[in-house]
Structure 1
Amino acid sequence: MIIETQTVDIDTPTGVMRCYQYSPVAEGQYPAIIYYSEIFQQTAPIARAAAVMAGHGFIVLVPEVFHELNPRGTVLAYDDKGKDKGNADKFAKPLEDHDSDTEAMIDYLDNHAKCTGRIGTMGVCIGGHLSFRAALNPALLSAFCLYATDIHSNTLPCQEGNDSYTRAGDIQGELAMIWGKQDPHVPTEGRQKIYQQLIEQDVNFTWLEVNGQHAFMRDEGDRYDPELALKMYLDAVALFRRTLN
């Protein structure tokens, strides 16, 4: 499908959040995907990933996940300086503020003329965690979470008992958890911990571990695996077509 892009500024309780919207040009209504980026915000690889998903018949909304901490339009580089700044932002923003961002995007999509009101979420790295986190909201019908960091370790700031691992049982939609077995950020014991929690909380989920490194979806850098990435896009499209259409 031919798509178009535009910039959308959405009011949240913690300030204006810039989002990047990718949507089919053709007339009609489409389900939506909230796509959460890495710590670097909307880089070129994230923009291309969002465009891929939009081209399969979805309105895709990419928020600036650390909008409170950076000027609008900030994109961090894939270098040590960008990594240090992104990690500092990650540990500075409470999960509760990500929750209110999600609610603001849901409100926006609910009032979008071309949106059916059926919404899923997808993300990579910290964005994988944020898509898992967004799925705590019952308005989100499905989530495709790629190598989600900081769930098992409970290292992101939040109120006591409000961490994503503890609250996993609140997820009502369908969950897909995708991991790279060579990912040092989420080791085997961390993945096993999350898997057991999802089993115990009776979450409806699919689990896939592949021979891939952290950020194997990112089409820049030496960890990119094009074959795995293509499979993940197809799996994500299949999940969202089944749960959102």
Structure 2
Amino acid sequence: MQIQQSFVDLQTETGVMRTYVYRPVEEGQYPAIIFYSEIFQQTAPISRSAAMMACHGFVVLVPEVFHELNPIGTVLGYDDAGKEKGNNDKWQKPLLDHDTDTQALVKYCQAADFCTGHVGAMGVCLGGHLAFRAAINPAVKAAFCLYATDIHSNTLPAPDEQQSFNLFDKVQGEVHFVWGKQDPHVPNDGRAKLYQHCINSGINYQWQEVNGVHAFMRDEGERYDGALALQMYQNAVALFQRTLR
């Protein structure tokens, strides 16, 4: 499918959130995927990932995840300065503010005349965490979470009872977790803790571990694994075609 790109400024409880919209050119209604970025916001690799998913017949929304903390349009570099700023933003923004962002995105999807109202979530790194977090919203039917950081460690800003690890029982949709075995951000003991928690919580989940490093989806730099990335896009498309149509 050929696609078009635009943006919309959504009002959230913590301010205006610039959101980039990728959707098919052909008129009609399509299911929506909220695509949560890394800490760097909408970089070129994130834009290409969103376009890849949209080409399969989805409306893909990429929100600026730290809109409260940066001017509209901010994109951080994949360098030490960008990493430091992005991590500082991550530790500063409460998880509950991400929840209200998700609600604004869901509301937009349910009202837009080019959306069916069916919503899924996808993300990488911090965005993988936020995609899982989005699945706590009952309107989100499925989540595809790539190397989701900080779920196992309960370290992002939130009261203990609101940490994502403690909210698995709130998830009603299907969750597909993908982990890199060579990813130091979610090491063996962290993955084992999460896997056991998936079993104990009774959520509807898929679990996939691959021989990949952190950020293997990012098609810039030495971490990129194109063969794995292609497989993940195919798996994500299959999940959303099954759950959102």
Write the distance in 1 (CA, Å) between the matches of 2:109 and 2:31: 9
Give the distance between the partners of 1:195 and 1:137, measured in 2 at CA: 21
Equivalents in 1 of 2:27, 2:187: separation in Å? Answer: 45
The answer for the alignment partner of 1:117 in structure 2 is: 117
In structure 2, C-alpha distance between the alignment counterparts of 1:28 and 1:68, rounded to whole Å = 33
Structure-1 separation of matches of 2:136 and 2:4:
30
Q: Which runs of 4+ in 1 moved over 2 A?
A: none
Which residue of the partner structure matches residue 146 of structure 1?
146
Residue 66 of structure 1 corresponds to 66
Which residue in the other structure is 2:227 paired with? 227
Structure 1, residues 189-211: CA drift from partner, whole Å, max 9, x if none? 00111111111110000000000
Offset at residue 160 of structure 1 (A): 2.8
Which residue in the other structure is 2:35 paired with? Answer: 35
Q: Which residue of 1 aligns with 2:171?
A: 171
Give the structure 2 partner of residue 5 of structure 1.
Answer: 5
State the identity %. Answer: 65
Q: Give the structure 2 partner of residue 20 of structure 1.
A: 20
- Normalising by structure 1, we get a TM-score of 0.99
For normalisation by structure 2, the TM-score amounts to: 0.99
Q: Distance in 1 between matches of 2:102 and 2:196?
A: 26
Structure 2: distance between partners of 1:221 and 1:139: 36
Which amino acid is the alignment partner of residue 143 of structure 1?
A: A
Unaligned runs of 5+ in 2: none
Q: Retained in 2: the 8 A contact 1:169–1:198? A: no
Q: Distance in 1 between matches of 2:13 and 2:32?
A: 22
What is the DSSP-based 3-state SS (H/G/I as helix, E as strand, rest coil) of the residue aligned with 1:17? strand
1:33-60 residue CA offsets vs partner (Å, 9 max, x unmatched): 0000000000000000000000000000
Q: Please give the alpha-carbon distance, in whole angstroms, between the structure 1 residues aligned to 2:96 and 2:27.
A: 36
Offset at 1:173?
A: 0.2
Matches within 5 A, 1:74-223: 74-223=74-223
Q: Distance in 1 between matches of 2:57 and 2:99?
A: 26
Determine if contact 1:45/1:220 at 8 Å carries over to the other structure.
yes
